[in-house]
Amino acid sequence: MFYTESFDVIIIGGGHAGTEAALAPARMGLKTLLLTHNIETIGQMSCNPAIGGIGKGHIVKEIDALGGAMAHAADKGGIQFRTLNASKGPAVRATRAQADRSLYKAAIREMVEAEENLQIFMQGVDDLIIENDRVVGVSTEMGLKFKAKAVVLTVGTFLGGKIHIGMENHSGGRMGDPPSIALADRLREMPFRVDRLKTGTPARIDSRSIDYSKLQEQPGDTPIPTFSYMGKKEDHPEQISCHITYTNSRTHDIIRASLDRSPLYSGVIDGVGPRYCPSIEDKIVRFADKDSHQIFIEPEGLNTYEIYPNGISTSMPFDVQFEFIRSIEGFENAHITRPGYAIEYDFFDPRDLKPTLETKFIDGLFFAGQINGTTGYEEAGAQGLLAATNAALQVQGKDSWFPKRSEAYIGVMVDDLITHGTQEPYRMFTSRAEHRLLLREDNADLRLTEIGYKIGLVDEERWRAFNIKREQVEVEMQRLRDTVMHPADVNAEQNERIFKGSLSREYRLNELLRRPNVSYADLMSIDKFGPAVEDPKVAEQVEVQFKYAGYIDRQQLEIDKQKNHEETVLPDDFDYSTIKGGLSNEALQKLQDQKPTTIGQASRIPGITPATISILMVHLKKHR
Ligand code: FAD
């Protein structure tokens, strides 16, 4: 039976990719439907209740700059905020929020429910309706069919999901949720390349059974950072501390003695786990010389006693989990509220996707989130936003949009995925970006909000606020360029404290700001040059842009050099076999298999040499 209404875009799955995906086309004015297993789990954090961190925080800011939901929810749900790498350069500074799991979920649900053009329906999807290689709708577990012009699939760890605790395993999407078996079987019949990955989570502990007197306290930052560019400090709930403890050699002995009952080491789990977020048994085997690993004790919320011991995710049998947890300082009487477990699931080779995250085999079908081989809420959210935006643009008959590597971490992630695929759960790091001084947390709005507004993702309120900020930055930068400081403007104490006594001639303020130890606040503390601009985010922008101007200009120059490659499009139907005299069999095979969208992307495919790129460029020039 067909549902009476039809939709522009249908999103399957209400996780982190799915909620950003559902909100984007709706913001763009399209009739959108979110189909998900369970309305109560919309926005649920499957693993640790935290948003952001190095690389991931950058993505959250980019989602926010494009009008997305994650940063708002983190502001409303965040119970401890920190700026990581605060003393390092601006490229690697990153915001991280410990979240109250329920507040975060409630904030996401509120935004989803409030969105005018978005309907929600609670049903598992079992099948896609495909006509002439184009998706035209979906069919649910009760046989209800929905028509749509485009579909975004964001089903996370649920496809063929298998949960492992020790040698026991059972089917599941995550603990307490059903897997997606019918849909997984159906997708396996399609031409996509499918493989298995795994991820894991630690046992949770009742905080009343922890001896906090033995632990190191870790308070959040003051003033409390906000995640959203539109965020206010009043958005934050009560703030609380995290704590730190460590595993010890006894913990490691207990785990080592039971490795034969570990599904990971006895061959029960085939899927590859996240190298950068390994289970505790993995750490003990891989870093055998270390006799201690740090554990962050993260509260799960303000109104719950459960804590998340970050750093000891495990799929060891429960009796081993119990014993090793009780060997840890402060956990001697720990009461476990939920066991740790690992989950194996299907993911699809992202090389079968276009940079819009549309599949190469079925028109109008987009994939986003964990099913593309990534791990993390932030990575998932960003893909959901990008995929659904492009689904919406396609429905509107407009050109697609995706950021370049030089424009956003989202661009870096998608280019990495579609060019290289992934052999392990992919997560974001700042080191993945070659232009990281341009891709800072502090300027994600300057990089993306304008395009977000043009596409229809950004509302008027954000657009107005953004323009005010952008203008204030420009005006203040110009004032600093135009203002000269004479030695007579500072007294001896100021000259010594701020300039180490070196202010012996006149300088423009922007030149002084380039000096390593001179801050914007220092300059504004001198009577004649203050007061500083009121908005600290404007002040930060002015300071960063001047202080790092040399490096930023150099990176911009490199980008300009590569611009030609990045903008030279290789058409979808480009027949590489027609190129006479030159392409090696290997290059031909790779280009035909992968169908890169630009010369820039082609140049990043392993095995494609500069010589191949020259041949392609010559061929394109001749046949233009
Ligand atoms: P999910 O958040 O999983 O959401 C999928 C949604 O789709 C759910 O709402 C589900 O109900 C729905 N759904 C599934 N199938 C269907 C269907 N057929 N029809 C309708 N709805 C459907 N990330 C980290 O960064 N670090 C970690 O340490 C970490 N550990 C993890 C441990 C575990 C055990 C799990 C399960 C996840 C872990 N993650 C971790 C990953 C993080 O939870 C995911 O990356 C993130 O949630 C992915 O978002 P998503 O939207 O792709 O999928």
Is 290's pLDDT higher than 80? yes
User: What confidence score (pLDDT) does residue 619 get?
Assistant: 86
For residue 577, the SS3 value is helix
Ligand 1 mutation pick, 38, 47, 345, max ligand atoms within 8 A of CB:
47
Pocket of ligand 1 (CB under 6 A): 12-18, 35-38, 41, 46-47, 124-125, 154-158, 173-174, 177, 180, 183, 199-201, 277, 343, 369-370, 375-377, 380
552 contacts: CB under 8 Å, gap ≥ 6: 437, 438, 545
Is 566's pLDDT higher than 80? yes
% of the chain with per-residue pLDDT over 90: 86
Residue 80 annotated as part of some ligand binding site: no
User: What confidence score (pLDDT) does residue 392 get?
Assistant: 98
Helix axes 101-114, 70-77, angle to 10 degrees: 140
User: What confidence score (pLDDT) does residue 254 get?
Assistant: 97
For residue 444, the SS3 value is helix
ipTM, 2 decimals? 0.98
User: What confidence score (pLDDT) does residue 621 get?
Assistant: 81
What is the position in ligand 1's atom list of the atom closest to the CA of 56?
A: 25
Residue 284 annotated as part of some ligand binding site: yes
CB-CB contact of 235 with 296 (8 Å): no
What is the position in ligand 1's atom list of the atom closest to the CA of 13?
A: 7
- Closest C-alpha to ligand 1, atom 12: 13
What pTM value is reported for the model? Answer: 0.95
Least confident range of 43-57, 202-216, 565-579: 565-579
Is 586's pLDDT higher than 80? yes
In the predicted model, what is the mean pLDDT of residues 349-360? 97
276 contacts: CB under 8 Å, gap ≥ 6: 427, 429
The per-residue DSSP string of 501-568 comes to T---S-EEHHHHHTSTT--HHHHHTSTTT-PPPS-HHHHHHHHHHHHTHHHHHHHHHHHHHHHHHHH-
55: left (phi over 0), alpha (psi -120 to 50) or beta: left
Positive or negative CA dihedral for 392, 32, 363, 449? positive
User: What confidence score (pLDDT) does residue 455 get?
Assistant: 98
CB-CB contact of 108 with 18 (8 Å): no
Residue 547 annotated as part of some ligand binding site: no
Residue 274 annotated as part of some ligand binding site: yes
What is the position in ligand 1's atom list of the atom closest to the CA of 177?
A: 11
Is 623's pLDDT higher than 80? no
